[in-house]
Amino acid sequence: MKIRFYNARILTMKDGEEIYEGEVWTADEKLSYVGTKPETITETFDREIDCRGNVIMPGFKNAHTHSGMTAMRSYADDLPLQEWLETKIFPLEAKMSGEDCYELSKLAVLEYLQSGVTAVFDMYLAPYDIAKCAIDTGMKFVQVSGINKFGPSVEEMEKRYLEINGKSPLSYFKIGFHAEYTCDLELLKKIAELAHKYKQPMWAHNSETRAEVDGCLERYGKTPTELMDSLGMFEYGGGGYHCVHMTDNDIEIFKKRGLIVVSNPGSNTKLASGIAPIQRFLDAGVPIAIGTDGPSSNNCLDMFREMFLVTGLAKLETKNASAVDGLEVLKMATVNGAKAMGLDDADVLEKGKEADLIMIDLHQPNMQPLNNIAKNIVYSGSKQNVALTMVHGKILYENGEFFIGEDPEEIYEKANEIIRRLSA
């Protein structure tokens, strides 16, 4: 299908390129034209969309989430992380089936699309069912293994890596593990060996809480970052989720290994885990992406709120209102998220790249006047400004309507049925 977006303000997110007026064309899953309006147009289109001066830009990349946890939204609030996990979340998850994960992930997809998200870096149970959710809904899922001492086996993780990758351009699977504190040393060594076997980047929760870091120091005399590095886990890149309690040496390892930090300020704030040292990462040249974390610890899957919190909390922490510039935050939410997921063809708007884009509605009070559109998306934008979300060349959300092949009300009903059964 060929679609023409015209009368648009185009924010390509390419380095040094300002917003300009022009057009974006798509042909099936690719961008076929990005630029000013041509003098003559000989192309024929299946649909032409008048953007009315609204912004067309790359979709946001939610670089850390647990989509299937939508069942636990507001189910176990106002508890510290370890108590929240061990007394509420883990017992409920033990009852979940693959079908449950499939249905609950569809609920998350609706929220992603409404928030302008075109790809998610997802760590959760039942990866085959979540891969099916990606294909059925049209959302792009890059899954990472959450293996821990409770399962699955390293052999099963390898099987998933081989079987899920290559089946669909909407579904990918990465090697990783839940966290140091949920794995024993032998398991960590085997995971490192698998990453070396396939020359793959490594991803895991890292230094989310002070207790996590102190426990690792007590067990091994190393921080989680130092331990992973000593095991050779970062030979082929990767990074960490959260990275709140990081030493200078941890940051140096990230810089040396070319690793990416994925910050989750909403979840870290709600669980009182702390404030990630975002400005220190930037000063060291460590790239940062942004994720919402799961919908039971955040509780919403809203990239606008995360963008504001990333810069707002950094300004508070450093007592410097100029810390973490809004344009840098927009890069974190788009380009850097794509880099973290390995989606190199979905980072910026450019001919030949994947047609993963969103339209930001400027015809609303919070986006006026048009002093600095890009920064206003970060500081004033919200889900209400997302007029359209396109993933892989298909419009999945437009003007409040979803186009994922199922009535949202049915998805809501199934989600409520699941949590009633699980919590009974």
Angle in degrees, 0-180, between the axes of helices 154-164 and 185-198, rounded to the nearest 10: 30
Q: Which pLDDT belongs to residue 260?
A: 98
Running DSSP on this structure, what letter comes out for residue 118?
Answer: E
23 Cβ contact partners less than 8 Å away, ≥ 6 residues apart: 4, 5, 6, 8, 10, 33, 34, 35, 36, 37, 38
Residue 340 falls within a domain, yes or no? yes
Q: Which of 41, 103, 11, 8 is CA-nearest to residue 347?
A: 11
DSSP SS3 for 204: strand
Residue 414 falls within a domain, yes or no? no
49 Cβ contact partners less than 8 Å away, ≥ 6 residues apart: 3, 4, 5, 6, 388
Residue 100 falls within a domain, yes or no? yes
Residue 410 falls within a domain, yes or no? no
CB-based contact 24:31 (threshold 8 Å): yes
Q: What DSSP string describes 362-393?
A: -SSGGG-S-S-HHHHHHHT--GGGEEEEEETT
Cα–Cα distance, 25 to 2 (Å, whole number): 7
Same domain, 96 and 233: yes
Residue 419 falls within a domain, yes or no? no
Q: Which domain holds residue 325?
A: 60-344
Q: How many domains, in total, are found in the chain?
A: 2
Q: For tokens 């990472």, what's the residue?
A: 144
In terms of DSSP H, where are the helices of 142-209?
Answer: 154-164, 185-198
Residue 231 falls within a domain, yes or no? yes
Q: Which of 295, 327, 296, 300 is CA-nearest to residue 311?
A: 327
Cα–Cα distance, 210 to 313 (Å, whole number): 18
Same domain, 51 and 122: no
User: Residue 84's pLDDT band (boundaries 50, 70, 90)?
Assistant: confident
41 Cβ contact partners less than 8 Å away, ≥ 6 residues apart: none
Element (H, E) at 273: none
Indicate if the pLDDT at residue 16 is higher than 90. Answer: yes
Q: Which of 299, 354, 306 is CA-nearest to residue 333?
A: 306
End-to-end CA distance of the chain: 47
397 Cβ contact partners less than 8 Å away, ≥ 6 residues apart: 113, 114, 386, 388, 389, 403
Same domain, 298 and 371: no
> Per-residue pLDDT tens for 374-395?
999 999 999 999 999 999 999 9
Q: What is the mean pLDDT of the chain?
A: 97
Same domain, 365 and 334: no
Element (H, E) at 1: none
Same domain, 29 and 65: no
> Per-residue pLDDT tens for 122-137?
999 999 999 999 999 9
Residues in the chain: 424
Mean pLDDT, to the nearest integer, of 45-50?
98
> Per-residue pLDDT tens for 165-174?
999 999 999 9
Indicate if the pLDDT at residue 175 is higher than 90. Answer: yes
> Per-residue pLDDT tens for 85-111?
888 888 999 999 999 999 999 999 999
Same domain, 296 and 376: no
The CATH number of the domain holding residue 44 is: 2.30.40.10
Running DSSP on this structure, what letter comes out for residue 151?
Answer: B
> Per-residue pLDDT tens for 294-341?
999 999 999 999 999 999 999 999 999 999 999 999 999 999 999 999
Last residue of a domain, one of 344, 363, 394: 344
CB-based contact 142:174 (threshold 8 Å): yes
Same domain, 174 and 238: yes
Neighbours of 366 (CB within 10 A): 13
Q: Which pLDDT belongs to residue 81?
A: 76
Residue 423 falls within a domain, yes or no? no
Same domain, 171 and 318: yes
Q: For tokens 């106002």, what's the residue?
A: 78
Q: For tokens 């339209």, what's the residue?
A: 359
In terms of DSSP H, where are the helices of 176-295?
Answer: 185-198, 210-220, 224-230, 248-257, 265-270, 278-284
User: Residue 46's pLDDT band (boundaries 50, 70, 90)?
Assistant: very high
Same domain, 72 and 206: yes
> Per-residue pLDDT tens for 191-241?
999 999 999 999 999 999 999 999 999 999 999 999 999 999 999 999 999
The CATH number of the domain holding residue 230 is: 3.20.20.140
Overall pTM > 0.95? yes
Same domain, 184 and 282: yes
Same domain, 311 and 353: no
Residue 420 falls within a domain, yes or no? no
Same domain, 215 and 253: yes
- Is the CA virtual torsion 89, 299, 164, 100 positive or negative? positive
